């Protein structure tokens, strides 16, 4: 008897695995296409339902939750009931063995490939009748027919064809006019202009010396993105606790006018519970209530495990399952080692997943201790601790440092809107910010911000230029 071009039992094993371990979708969801990979209408329906459930409803499976999801839409409810609902899914869960998922997956892809070959007129029966067919892997089928598979459009077979650049240029120009290639604003007007906003698929990296406030600045950008712009975000950290991040974010919202508050209350007062007055405490409580009502911030402590695979998993899990649109990572460093190759590799992993998932990426990195003695105008990627070559990976690279009071006379602030060139004020802390890389346009200039880490305020005041008379 000739072997069929499908294996429905294996398809149910795949279904059982996904419903048993939903987070398998994080790694494998991107490579499964139910239209091609599932032959049986019932398994295709169960997979499509699982995918929608995971991405829009919940990342945990239970009978009650799944039933509630399935009955939300009439056609879906009808099909679900015809398949005997949870009873069928429960059987699939009991049949599967998660430890064998890789074998189930390869078998699924093997039959998917066989069907595609058959549609293209390839002689697949000899493959099906091969005495060792069960032991043949999908990649072995690909290798044996490599020269004939260019136009097979399954995930396994792939498709790679060249295109003629510019043949649709007029349409592209119209599209840019209708949908300009700009991203969401950053809480800094000049940076937003230079970068054309924070565009999805792009990675911004901000570098500072140790203990100069890179996590606090990240907390400002993250709070603004979620609370003001209403975007769901993921904040991953490997050095700062959740409590510390809460303190930084609350301080940020209390003291930055962009959030509608300007309480001038230091973080120390908040975390020690020592307020100047009862009115100040009540004002902070008002901010806390505002935060609770508006937050779409997911926090992930990566301190115990921040390998490249961990970063990739958390990004996919939150983007695919919870609708996250922007991801933050503090701080870029190699996993269990700080040699530059691993830091660049980690940065590449973050950039790749940001690009693939079409989300915005923002990460911090530490500069070398020697950077303290280097003029901000001379800053370059050589000042990045253990990872100068990551400049080639990122889309936007900001290198910044606190300017020393003794050197204020060497600089001027250039701001045409505020009266041209102005001296630095002795009672203000300034940070110079070298735009070392910018795939959106201009680079090399140095911005300057007035910074108060106690209040976590960062205010753009213009461009930093050298004082010719300093």
Structural domains of the chain sorted by starting position, each given as residue range(s) with its CATH number in brackets: 8-148 (1.10.860.10), 189-466 (3.40.50.300)
Q: Give the pLDDT of residue 167.
A: 86
- Share the mean pLDDT of the chain: 88
Q: Which residue has the higher pLDDT, 100 or 374?
A: 100
The yes-or-no verdict on residue 35 having pLDDT over 50 is yes
Q: Which residue has the tokens 């606190």?
A: 402
Q: Give the pLDDT of residue 153.
A: 47
Phi, psi values for residue 423, rounded to 5°: -75, 160
Q: Which residue has the higher pLDDT, 236 or 114?
A: 236
Q: Give the pLDDT of residue 158.
A: 43
The yes-or-no verdict on residue 146 having pLDDT over 60 is no
Q: Give the pLDDT of residue 340.
A: 65
Q: Tens digit of pLDDT for each residue in 302-333?
A: 888 888 889 998 999 999 888 999 999 999 98
Measure the CA dihedral 195/201/205/211, to 10°: 120
The yes-or-no verdict on residue 76 having pLDDT over 50 is yes
The yes-or-no verdict on residue 59 having pLDDT over 80 is yes
Share above pLDDT 70 across residues of the chain, in percent, rounded to a whole number: 88
The yes-or-no verdict on residue 194 having pLDDT over 60 is yes
The yes-or-no verdict on residue 455 having pLDDT over 80 is yes
Distance CA(189)–CA(435), nearest Å, equals: 14
The yes-or-no verdict on residue 223 having pLDDT over 60 is yes
Average pLDDT for residues 169-187, to the nearest whole number?
93
Strands (E), 278-416: 297-301, 326-330, 360-366, 396-402, 411-415
Average pLDDT for residues 188-212, to the nearest whole number?
94
Share above pLDDT 90 across residues of the chain, in percent, rounded to a whole number: 65
Confidence class of residue 166 from pLDDT cuts 50, 70 and 90?
A: confident
pTM, to two decimals: 0.78
Least confident window among 135-149, 178-192, 284-298, 448-462 = 135-149
Average pLDDT for residues 256-269, to the nearest whole number?
95
Q: Tens digit of pLDDT for each residue in 429-453?
A: 999 999 999 999 888 999 999 999 9
Confidence class of residue 145 from pLDDT cuts 50, 70 and 90?
A: low
Distance CA(399)–CA(379), nearest Å, equals: 7
Q: Give the pLDDT of residue 160.
A: 47
Q: Give the pLDDT of residue 157.
A: 45
Nearest Cα to 109, choosing from 147, 146, 158?
Answer: 158
Q: Give the pLDDT of residue 303.
A: 85
Tokens of 379: 């800053």
Please check whether residue 83 is in contact with residue 46, taking contact to mean a CB–CB distance below 8 angstroms. Answer: yes
- Which helix or strand (DSSP H or E) is residue 204 part of? strand 203-208
Distance CA(457)–CA(428), nearest Å, equals: 12
Q: Tens digit of pLDDT for each residue in 382-414?
A: 777 666 677 888 999 999 999 999 999 999 999
Confidence class of residue 215 from pLDDT cuts 50, 70 and 90?
A: very high
Question: Which of 91-105, 127-141, 338-352 has the highest average model confidence (pLDDT)?
Answer: 91-105
Nearest Cα to 46, choosing from 3, 75, 21, 83?
Answer: 83
Beta pairing, strands 457-466 & 446-452: antiparallel
The yes-or-no verdict on residue 83 having pLDDT over 70 is yes
The yes-or-no verdict on residue 159 having pLDDT over 50 is no
Average pLDDT for residues 53-69, to the nearest whole number?
93
Q: Tens digit of pLDDT for each residue in 233-261?
A: 999 999 889 999 999 999 999 999 999 99
Tell me the C-alpha to C-alpha distance, in Å, between residue 419 and each of 23, 359, 433: 56, 39, 21
């Amino acid at each position: 008897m000739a072997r069929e071009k499908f294996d429905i039992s294996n398809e149910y094993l795949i279904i059982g695995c996904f419903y048993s371990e939903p987070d398998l979708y994080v790694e494998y969801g991107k490579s499964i296409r139910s239209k091609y990979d599932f032959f049986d209408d019932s398994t295709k329906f169960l997979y499509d339902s699982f995918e929608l459930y995971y991405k829009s409803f919940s990342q945990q499976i239970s009978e009650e939750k799944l039933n509630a999801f399935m009955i939300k839409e009439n056609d879906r409810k009808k099909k679900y009931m015809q398949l005997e609902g949870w009873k069928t899914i429960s059987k699939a869960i009991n049949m599967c063995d998660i430890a064998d998922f890789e074998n189930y997956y390869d078998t699924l892809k093997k039959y998917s490939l066989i069907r595609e070959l058959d549609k293209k007129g390839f002689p697949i029966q000899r493959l099906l009748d091969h005495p060792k067919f069960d032991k043949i892997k999908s990649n072995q089928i690909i290798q044996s027919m490599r020269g004939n598979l260019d136009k097979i459009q399954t995930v396994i077979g792939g498709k790679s064809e060249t295109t003629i650049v510019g043949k649709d240029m007029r349409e592209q120009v119209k599209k840019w006019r209708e949908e300009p290639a700009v991203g969401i604003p950053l809480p800094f007007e000049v940076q937003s202009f230079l970068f054309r906003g924070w565009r999805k698929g792009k990675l911004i990296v901000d570098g500072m010396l140790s203990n100069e406030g890179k996590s606090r600045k990240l907390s400002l950008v993250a709070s603004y993105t979620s609370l003001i712009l209403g975007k769901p975000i993921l904040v991953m950290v490997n050095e700062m606790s959740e409590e510390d991040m809460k303190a930084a974010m609350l301080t940020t919202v209390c003291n930055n006018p962009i959030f509608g508050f300007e309480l001038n209350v230091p973080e120390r007062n908040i975390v020690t519970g020592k307020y100047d007055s009862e009115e100040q405490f009540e004002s902070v409580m008002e901010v806390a209530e505002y935060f609770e009502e508006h937050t779409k911030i997911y926090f992930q402590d990566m301190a115990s495990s921040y390998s490249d695979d961990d970063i990739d998993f958390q990004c996919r899990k939150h983007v695919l399952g919870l609708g996250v649109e922007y991801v933050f990572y503090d701080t870029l460093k190699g996993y269990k080692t700080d040699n530059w190759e691993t830091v660049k590799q980690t940065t590449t992993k973050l950039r790749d997943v940001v690009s693939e998932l079409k989300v915005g990426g923002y990460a911090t990195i530490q500069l070398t201790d020697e950077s303290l003695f280097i003029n901000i105008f001379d800053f370059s990627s050589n000042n990045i601790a253990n990872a100068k070559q990551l400049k080639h990976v990122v889309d936007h690279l900001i290198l910044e440092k606190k300017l020393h009071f003794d050197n204020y006379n060497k600089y001027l602030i250039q701001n045409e809107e505020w009266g041209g060139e102005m001296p630095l004020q002795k009672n203000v802390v300034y940070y110079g910010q070298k735009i070392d890389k910018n795939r959106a346009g201009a680079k090399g200039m140095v911005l300057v911000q007035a910074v108060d880490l106690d209040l976590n305020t960062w205010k753009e005041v213009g461009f930093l230029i050298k004082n010719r008379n300093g």
